[in-house]
Structure 1
Amino acid sequence: MSRMLRAGAIMAAGTMVSRVTGFVRTMVLAYAIGTAALGDSYNAAYAIPYSILDLLLLGVLSSVIVPMIVRAQQNDPDGGQAYEQRLLTVATVTLVGVAVLAVFAAPLLIDLYTDWAPGSRRFEVGVTLARFILPQLAFFGVGAVAGAILNTRDRYGAPMWAPVLNNLVVICVFVAYAVMSPAKDDIERVSNGELALLGLGTTAGIVAQAAVLIVALRRAGFSFVPRFDLWNARLGEMAKAGVWTIGYVIVTQLGFVLTTNLSSAAGNEVLGHGISPYTLAFQLFQLPYGIIGVSVITAMLPRMSRAVGEGRLHDVRSEFGSSVKLVCALMVPVSLLLMVLGPAITVPIYGHGANSVADAVYIGNVLQVYGLALVPFSVFQLLLRVFYSFGDTRTPVFVGAGTTAVNAALMVVFYVLLPAAYAVMGLALAYAIAYGLGAVLAWWLAARRVQGLGGWSVGMALTRMYLASLPTAVLALAAVWVVTQVFGGLGFVNSLIVLSVGGGLGLLLYLGVAHRMRIPEVNSIVGMVARRVGR
């Protein structure tokens, strides 16, 4: 537990700063271009390269590439260095080619991901932005492989801190746009030069991020030499192991395409209720998981892979149990606070400039629904790493396919039944229900694989965490009620009051109650923080 906490703390600190600067980035984005037509076009173009990378690389990275790098480091005479060089060579050449093709295919991609009519202003602006943003595919992908190699060498700092530079670059770009552009959020007036500033500036952030990771890799003792002896790259083994992961990613991306089409269609009917509210609420929903869950998973997977390779199933069970309890110790209260404080969170962040307070409140309403999904989504992601540690990429495909199928069916049902003004909230509800069911299925299958996951112990721990969180939820509800009744709404200042009382004092209350209830994971976190403050 202490080793996981130390590794998690390093990554969580970098991720925290990254997410805070990400907050500022989205604040400046909403201020500069809003969440209506221009904001929707930008967010659609911005999402496409990440979807392509997820399809080609990111899903395979954690499930296949990391375990293979670990095995090469353990078994190859040179400690896996030649294998890592071949891997980086293949990634670089492939992703440069994909980036070039994607730029030419930008109109087809925008047509695929949105419900906008070709020739419409939203469509044309989306295509222009996509052509400026899609070149980042090569830089982001190479940086991701470099980060994976660093993680297998227990170098967690740079992969977690590099996105901070990316965010700072993009913040400067959007500030420049807000200051210099006469068009602001008016999609009819925005010029190609202004779109180039937004698009190329976004790509410049990824270039800076990749550069940091490559420098860190060199400092870790890795010397990159292009290697084209691909017969030694174990591509066949990687393809065999990765085909199921790619299948899983394809399934999830089909679900994402449906989501962007439904949300863009809703935005056509109600301005400001389309892709942008979905994207911004989803980013905030992912924030706690990104800070806590990703940090724990990144440290957990290499250790679980080594334990599986050495036949130590009891260590796999122990590693998973410690991880899920550690993650949920913070996810449980945060999920309840998101459900209560959604609009109070989003108004100070997004209720400025081109965005109205009403627009920000709607983003908060979507975030409230997403709060339901935080714990099941986090547990689901942890469970997938159990399969990946065994080199099993097939089972997650079937689990993911079932989850995505349920999500897609519910999204369509809610989109049809709900008014357009509530359609994006319905998409978030479908997501929460689907991942709750997916976590149950994944748990059952993973428990069979490792001969039990300690379900009773984890269930009792979660029950105690929810009980410890109830006073926090009550305090947050009381803060919202008092402020809205006395001051008449959630403006900027009122939202900060609600956040200070319901969020700040609420979390302190949870830590105090959990400490009195002797929840070990919370006590470990409090003890670690107290020791660091004491220094």
Structure 2
Amino acid sequence: MSDTNTASIPVQDAGVLPRRRDARAGNVPADSTARSSAIMAAGTLVSRILGLVRVALLATAIGTAGAVSDLFPAANNLPTYIFLMIAGGVFNAVLVPQIIRASQQPDRGSDYVSRLMTLSMTVLLILTVLITLAAPFVADLLTNVDGDALALTTVFAYWCLPQIFFYGIYSIIGQVLNANGSFGPYMWAPVVNNIVSIGFLIAFIAMMGAQRTVGHTPESWTPTHTLLLAGGTTLGIVVQALVLIIPLRRLGLGLRPKFGWRGVGLGQTGRLASITIVTMLVGNGLYMINQWVATIATDARSDLPGDAYIAGLSNLDIGTLVYVLPHSVIALSLATVMFNRLASAHSENDLETTKETLSLGLRTIGVATVFGAAALLVLAAPLGMLFSGGIRQGGALNALIIALLAVGAPFLSANFFLNRVFYAAEDAVTPLKIQLILSVTGVALALGSSLFDPDLIVPMLALSFTLGNIVAVVISHGFLVRKIGRYGATRIYDVHVRLTIAGLMAAGAGAAIVWLFGGSQPTGFVWQSVFSAAVVILVVGPVMAAIYVLMLKVLRVTELRDFLAPLLARFSRR
């Protein structure tokens, strides 16, 4: 929730997206869109860098293939999944068009938003209390561990499940800010969250010791361990939510608690929300099944000799975190800003702007995500070692999962952006149909993965993620063509072919350098330590980026100029 590439994302194209004079919520001028996207991408970039530091410290603290390594992620994932199931889709997709429409009222939407926020937070508080009280049942239902491992997972769940309420506060305030053209705070708030979490992890390592030297187990775990690990994580989420109150007050909307919910237009929101909740229940139910399957491998670790390692939930989580970086920094920032433009185009029945915005967005996103996929494949080994806590076997498992997930990275972002078109048109039914199809496929793949030997379960899950992302794009494209007609898919495909050629050239050069650093040898420099892995990344990454940019110029990929425009303009002003 709290959601790397240094380039900013432009979405302005003088020949495609006309400048709008009305700068009210939802009608963001094109130049303002580029600026907002750059601010959001910068915030997400800083947050993700700190997030990577946090994950590296977590791996140092409890390892990635130890007795406790999977138990904390299993509990800490629960509030994210549960929030997304019951409210995430409503806050992130359904409410924005409603808030934009309300903002055009004489009171700038103050009355509507006050009642909406009051209702949302009341429901979330009740649900959070009930779910937290049910922590033992939830932990047992959604994991495959037992005994001391299940007991410790339950303790973690008691500490982590209250995050649900604060995820809700963060999301709804963030959407109010976004709908009123204030994009930066929503993307920068996770920075504070990561700083708090990093501080507690450093304290954990200093006071309780690192996994590599101590070897934490459920039997040796104490309340102090829990306070520093789970307590620090939850406190970060609390701060992330509450810090948004400051920019919210600066909007001057005069928001206050209001409990009368009849006759203010919440009925339409409720109907859309109910469909979206079903969609999110289906989609995030799949993630819970994936976690349940992954913890089969976790449970199998207890029967392994001390020198044997198999991939578990923590390796899958690390691989997922790394492979979504291009999506989180580029695609998510761009899609959040452009969603307002898509919603505005729908309200004006401007189908051409919808199509042109979609085409431009997919092509521009591809510049980053195709390179991201190439870089992840080449740098899987050093990236895996970077988040291993210095344990070579854990690094190798991370690397395998990252490589299997990398291919699906561009498809993940493309599908996300395709689905924004449906939500901008206040069509929650089509995403539900798509999600049902994808979930049936995903459940079949996940359950199929559970039939393999424990050492293959998590790699097969990672492969199923990649296949699912590819299938998702094909299905979403088909539904979208039926809804809005052709939107320039041929041009998008042509650009992505050239992007792929450039990515392969960069990957070839990068792979050669990694090989020279001993990437194919268990005792090579890449695998010596976290520091040596970081050195390889710092050397190979810029070389790949330079070759990629050069090839894009040779192949005349004009989207590179669109992608770099805001960054170059900022340097020229300086």
Q: TM-score range by the shorter chain?
A: over 0.9
Decide which moves more: 230-239 or 340-349.
Answer: 230-239
> How far apart, CA to CA, are the structure 1 residues paired with 2:534 and 2:156?
34
Partner of 2:58: 29
Q: Is the partner of 2:374 in helix, strand or coil?
A: helix
Partner of 1:490: 526
Asked whether the 8 Å contact 1:114–1:260 carries over to 2, the reply is yes
* Residue type of the alignment partner of 1:113: L
Q: Is the partner of 1:231 in helix, strand or coil?
A: coil
Partner of 2:381: 343
Identify the match of residue 80 of structure 2 among 50, 56, 59.
50
Indicate whether 1:109 and 2:138 are aligned. Answer: yes
- Spell out the pairing of 1:118-129 with structure 2 (5 A cutoff): 120-129=147-156
* Residue type of the alignment partner of 2:182: R
Asked whether the 8 Å contact 1:64–1:391 carries over to 2, the reply is yes
> How far apart, CA to CA, are the structure 2 residues paired with 1:430 and 1:199?
30
- Spell out the pairing of 1:41-440 with structure 2 (5 A cutoff): 41-74=71-104, 76-117=105-146, 120-181=147-208, 185-270=216-301, 273-352=311-390, 356-417=391-452, 419-440=453-474
Partner of 2:545: 507
> How far apart, CA to CA, are the structure 1 residues paired with 2:257 and 2:263?
13
Asked whether the 8 Å contact 2:297–2:310 carries over to 1, the reply is no
> How far apart, CA to CA, are the structure 2 residues paired with 1:69 and 1:81?
10
Partner of 2:23: none
Report the TM-score, using the length of structure 1 for normalisation.
0.95
- CA drift at 1:160: 0.5
With over 3 angstroms needed to count, the CA separation of the structure-2 counterparts of 1:42 and 1:232, relative to structure 1, is: farther
Q: Is the partner of 2:220 in helix, strand or coil?
A: coil
Q: Is the partner of 2:94 in helix, strand or coil?
A: helix
Deviations 1:395-423 (A, max 9, x none): 11111111121122122223324x32222
> How far apart, CA to CA, are the structure 1 residues paired with 2:546 and 2:89?
36
Deviations 1:55-92 (A, max 9, x none): 12211122211111111113x33221111111111122
Asked whether the 8 Å contact 1:18–1:164 carries over to 2, the reply is yes
With over 3 angstroms needed to count, the CA separation of the structure-2 counterparts of 1:396 and 1:149, relative to structure 1, is: same
- CA drift at 1:20: 0.4
Aligned residues: 528
Partner of 2:500: 466
Deviations 1:437-492 (A, max 9, x none): 12111111112211212111111111111112121010122122222268735223
> How far apart, CA to CA, are the structure 2 residues paired with 1:441 and 1:429?
19
Report the identity percentage. 28
RMSD: 1.7
Any unmatched runs of 5+ in structure 2? 1-10, 13-30, 302-308
Q: Is the partner of 1:228 in helix, strand or coil?
A: coil
Asked whether the 8 Å contact 1:85–1:224 carries over to 2, the reply is yes
- Spell out the pairing of 1:4-43 with structure 2 (5 A cutoff): 4-35=33-64, 36-43=66-73
With over 3 angstroms needed to count, the CA separation of the structure-2 counterparts of 1:193 and 1:272, relative to structure 1, is: farther
Asked whether the 8 Å contact 1:143–1:214 carries over to 2, the reply is no
Partner of 2:27: none
> How far apart, CA to CA, are the structure 2 residues paired with 1:490 and 1:333?
22
Find runs of 4+ consecutive structure 1 residues off by over 4 angstroms: none
- CA drift at 1:135: 1.5
Partner of 1:480: 514
> How far apart, CA to CA, are the structure 1 residues paired with 2:69 and 2:412?
27
Indicate whether 1:448 and 2:482 are aligned. Answer: yes
Q: Is the partner of 1:188 in helix, strand or coil?
A: helix
Asked whether the 8 Å contact 2:86–2:277 carries over to 1, the reply is yes
> How far apart, CA to CA, are the structure 2 residues paired with 1:216 and 1:325?
33
- CA drift at 1:263: 0.5
- CA drift at 1:498: 3.3
Asked whether the 8 Å contact 1:472–1:502 carries over to 2, the reply is no
Asked whether the 8 Å contact 2:88–2:280 carries over to 1, the reply is no
* Residue type of the alignment partner of 2:563: I
Q: Is the partner of 1:230 in helix, strand or coil?
A: coil
Q: Is the partner of 1:467 in helix, strand or coil?
A: helix
Any unmatched runs of 5+ in structure 1? none
Deviations 1:242-297 (A, max 9, x none): 22211111111221121111110012224552111111111111221111111011
Asked whether the 8 Å contact 1:41–1:126 carries over to 2, the reply is yes
- CA drift at 1:48: 0.6
